[in-house]
Structure 1
Amino acid sequence: MTVASITRVLKIGTRGSLLARTQAGTVLDALVAAGHRAELVIVKTAGDESAAPVQQIGVGVFTTALRDQLAAGNVDIAVHSYKDLPTAPDDRFTIAAIPPREDPRDALVARDGLVLGELPAGSRIGTSAPRRIAQLKALGLGLDIVPLRGNLDTRLGKVTAGELDAVVVARAGLARIGRLDAITESLEPVQMLSAPGQGALAIECRADDADLVTALTALDDASTRSAVVAERSVLAALEAGCTAPVGALAEVVESIDEDGRIFDELSLRACVVALDGSDEIRASVVGAPERAAELGRALADELLELGAADVMSGGGGDA
């Protein structure tokens, strides 16, 4: 399509936090660079209005208001943190683009520059994400996990003020707002497996807006899409949304066959952890990137065979 085929100013819906506005701003900049006109529209969500833990206020709490505005035609595009989207598809919309994602790992921000293994037993660690709570407890470090909500500045401020010894947050968020300097340790997947889709953005529009779908496709990154599809397929097949202590991480890597030819391969690993840290199941699979959804379902089947349903029965949610 040509730039001229979209004559309107594209309205990009976003939450009002610094992180959300920054994320949406990258989409705006990309569209403007491609010759389109665009502007941000701030949308308040139920998640922004409530201080309750995400698992209490519900799956999709950060995305429903954006989708309502999209369906009503008040915005043309919604920019989501992909990990916040429910896994069930909504035929009204399409994820037209998934740009290259930031580092999906979780990050520790601790007092005195400490890393996780240096925090003494009894240290107060802030997070309300059961996925993180479960994995922290599974490490057996004797940490005191404290519920935590609020924007990134609020969370980091709890450490600076001495209210908490550390917080665990998504590294991608800190990267996007220019606060990587606050990180005292980026947690490796063997310590803490990230939320499915963490670090990735979902650029969503109405499914029947064909010209816009085509325009947004230019922002899509095939490797990121394959990885996120695989991760979220695990979640969907486990019948667990962002309210379960499930971690999943996929990446497209280069492999070499026996004839020395280089090809792309999708590596996917996932875990299900009891909320009290008493049990943990991990598994992995590799395959072709175009089989991302199939690989995710196959890995979920393996986790279920290993007892994932029983482990998840006491689960909670991810923030």
Structure 2
Amino acid sequence: VQLRDLRPDLQIEPLRGNLDTRLRKLDEGQYDAIILAAAGLKRLGLSERIRQHIDTVVMLPAAGQGALGLEIRSQHAELTQALGTLAHTPTWLATLAERGVSRAMGGSCSMPLAAFAEWQAGPSHDSEPVLVLKALLGHPEQPFLVHASATDRPRNAAEADAMGRQIAAQLQAQAGEDWLAAL
């Protein structure tokens, strides 16, 4: 939806399959170009296939893109403690805010929804960083996007989730009932 908004002159076609299938279809000339997650290509040692990175100023990613999570059995307390040093609270809060948007919108892999949270310097040089959360919702059939953003300093999971819900409410208000029913 974002690409269609940016480049209405392009013919956008669905592309299904795993990464190998998608790349094969590109190589066979079935597509002139495809957009894939750079992280997936890098993870598989295919960095040379990346031709361009799309900045978040141009297109917002889906909520939680790039976030990694660890799931550990509760009986492994020692492992939980050892891996706890990998936790990064600012990233966790940013991801919770993004996912809060998606959860409040009833997001799915087919919903044209994007959310991106990023910590930025505060308004003055001596102030604490702020979390800037941006989101957009596309119409499934029309070339329309609604945008919402908020800036806050969430200190815990509840505050980050509330920030996401606030953005979702803004998107819902802008989109209206008919648009939301079409999703």
TM-score category, normalised to shorter length = 0.7 to 0.9
> 1:227–1:219: structure 2 CA closer, same or farther, 3 Å change rule?
same
131, 143, 158: which is aligned to 1:278? 143
> 1:165–1:242: structure 2 CA closer, same or farther, 3 Å change rule?
same
> 1:256–1:279: structure 2 CA closer, same or farther, 3 Å change rule?
closer
Task: Determine the structure 1 residue equivalent to 2:162.
Answer: 294
Contact 1:136/1:277, CA 8 A, preserved across alignment = no
Q: Which runs of 4+ in 1 moved over 4 A?
A: none
1:173-205 superposed Cα distances (whole Å, 9 cap, x missing partner): 123223333222222334321110011122123
Matches within 5 A, 1:181-220: 181-207=48-74, 209-220=76-87
Instruction: Give, as a single letter, the amino acid of the residue that structure 2 aligns with 1:179.
Output: L
C-alpha distance in 1 between matches for 2:180 and 2:171: 11
**C-alpha displacement of 1:169:** 1.1
Normalized per residue, the structure richer in helix is: 2
C-alpha distance in 1 between matches for 2:141 and 2:44: 32
Q: Secondary structure at the match of 1:269?
A: strand
* Identity across matched positions, percent: 37
The question of 1:147 aligning with 2:14 is answered yes
> 1:236–1:308: structure 2 CA closer, same or farther, 3 Å change rule?
farther
TM value normalised by structure 1: 0.51
Gaps of 5+ in 2: none
Matches within 5 A, 1:1-319: 134-207=1-74, 209-257=76-124, 260-290=125-155, 291-307=159-175, 310-315=178-183
Q: Based on CA coordinates, which of the two structures has the bigger radius of gyration?
A: 1
Contact 1:230/1:250, CA 8 A, preserved across alignment = yes
Instruction: Give, as a single letter, the amino acid of the residue that structure 2 aligns with 1:162.
Output: G
**C-alpha displacement of 1:284:** 0.6
Q: Secondary structure at the match of 1:184?
A: coil
C-alpha distance in 1 between matches for 2:176 and 2:44: 36
C-alpha distance in 2 between matches for 1:166 and 1:308: 34
Contact 2:139/2:145, CA 8 A, preserved across alignment = yes
C-alpha distance in 2 between matches for 1:147 and 1:289: 38
Contact 1:249/1:269, CA 8 A, preserved across alignment = yes
Aligned CA-pair RMSD: 2.2
Instruction: Give, as a single letter, the amino acid of the residue that structure 2 aligns with 1:198.
Output: Q
> 1:161–1:279: structure 2 CA closer, same or farther, 3 Å change rule?
same
Contact 1:227/1:251, CA 8 A, preserved across alignment = yes
**C-alpha displacement of 1:150:** 2.5
Contact 1:173/1:199, CA 8 A, preserved across alignment = no
Contact 2:112/2:140, CA 8 A, preserved across alignment = yes
Gaps of 5+ in 1: 1-133
Contact 1:279/1:311, CA 8 A, preserved across alignment = no
Instruction: Give, as a single letter, the amino acid of the residue that structure 2 aligns with 1:264.
Output: P
C-alpha distance in 2 between matches for 1:196 and 1:277: 22
Normalized per residue, the structure richer in strand is: 1
